Amino acid sequence: MVFHVEYPRTIPPRRPEGHQPAAPRYTLRWDEPVPTMISDYFAIQALDLDPAVRKEFFDRVTASFAGEEGPGAHETMQFVDEAGFTNAVVVAYWTDPTRHARWAARSPYLAWFGSSDRLGESLGYWRETLVVPYDRHETIYSAPHYRIGLARTPGSRIVPMTVNGYFGAARDRIPLSAVDPLESPYKDNPPRRREVNSLGRRLRAATPLNMTALRSGQFWVGAGEEQLTDYLDNLQPKLMRGMEYLLQSKEQTGTLSLRVMTNLDETGNPRAETSVLAYFISLEGLEDWAKSHETHLEIYRHAIAMNRKFKEKREVVTWHECFVMPEASSFEYVNCQPGTGVLPYCELLEAVR
């Protein structure tokens, strides 16, 4: 079987009548029902992150993944945030919420992360857990052969699709969009950035309904000279201009957080692969940027042009996974700098000891 969820539409699709995509695209399905999927991001943060400390962190997190309750897939990444701190990240994926919760209840890493000892360190730690009902997700891949992110979970397969190549396609791919406009409850009154006192504290952030999480990836490992040069000289700079625009225009676009992460290999060295992890107050802000802003149109046109030029010989893979989130309180920041993640925008809570 190929599992999928569809609702009889009460809201019309964005797809124009008779639309044919300009380039083939692919999406993810599973062989068995996956009613809920989980992306769990674990990170360490320091102004100057010692590689030995980073290795110890990665080892500690990944050691906790052993056993049948561990994730189906995980990756390591790194980025420098807007405040200049280095953050090293492990992202792990589960396709079973009960197994994930059992893992969390018994994880040696989470016991260590939860210890008050962490507050006395010079390092910061954070965890951003995305628990996503199937009907609140969509994925897209420019090629069927490269597995990354959710696409590395067992039982998944990358399949061709035609719900792509027009503005609004991402929304149309989210099953729930057939019956729910997926608006932010704070549409008319978006949260204002504020300075929080987060150092030396453990803070839980309450993320609002329909907050949209996007992990978009770029993979050019093994690309030949022509396509490598094009990627580095053309697509990557356009992408970075787009990301810079979103970072500089948080209020206009509803961007709450955006990190350009570099994927790491098993020894901790950078790969020819990046992922942008971003949170938006709603899908709508992201859509408005995608359909109308020059910085996105340039990325979009160039990616389509290269797909048409190289067809199945295209050596650069682009993809994303997008989650329109239920209301949750599952982001946790320990001794982090005040600009970390959604800290400046979300309601914050502290556990009562």
Q: Which is nearer to a second copy, 3 or 65 (CB)?
A: 3
Rounded-to-integer distance, Cα 297 and Cα 284, Å: 16
Q: Which residues ranging from 264 to 293 are in contact with a second copy (CB under 8 A)?
A: none
Binding of residue 170 to a second copy (CB under 8 A): no
- Residue 171 CB, shortest distance to a second copy, in Å, is 14
- Residue 219 CB, shortest distance to a second copy, in Å, is 32
DSSP 13: -
CA dihedral of residues 188, 194, 199, 205 (deg, nearest 10) = -10
Contact residue for a second copy among 208, 217, 242, 344 (CB under 8 A): 208
Measured at the CA of 286, the angle between CA 290 and CA 166, to 5 degrees, comes to 40
Contact residue for a second copy among 14, 102, 118, 157 (CB under 8 A): 102
Binding of residue 2 to a second copy (CB under 8 A): no
Binding of residue 4 to a second copy (CB under 8 A): no
- Residue 44 CB, shortest distance to a second copy, in Å, is 23
User: How many chain residues interact with a second copy (CB under 8 A)?
Assistant: 48
Q: Which is nearer to a second copy, 52 or 352 (CB)?
A: 352
Binding of residue 114 to a second copy (CB under 8 A): no
DSSP 192: P
**Bridge partners (DSSP) listed for residue 204:** 332, 349
Report the first-to-last Cα separation within the chain, whole angstroms: 48
Rounded-to-integer distance, Cα 330 and Cα 207, Å: 8
**Bridge partners (DSSP) listed for residue 214:** 278, 322
Contact residue for a second copy among 131, 140, 239, 290 (CB under 8 A): 131
| Beta strands, E only, 47-179 | 73-80, 86-94, 124-133, 137-141, 156-161
- Site for a second copy, rule CB under 8 A: 1, 3, 5, 7-8, 10, 32-33, 35-36, 96-98, 101-102, 104-105, 131, 133, 135, 176, 178-183, 185-186, 189, 196, 203-204, 206, 208-210, 326-330, 347-352
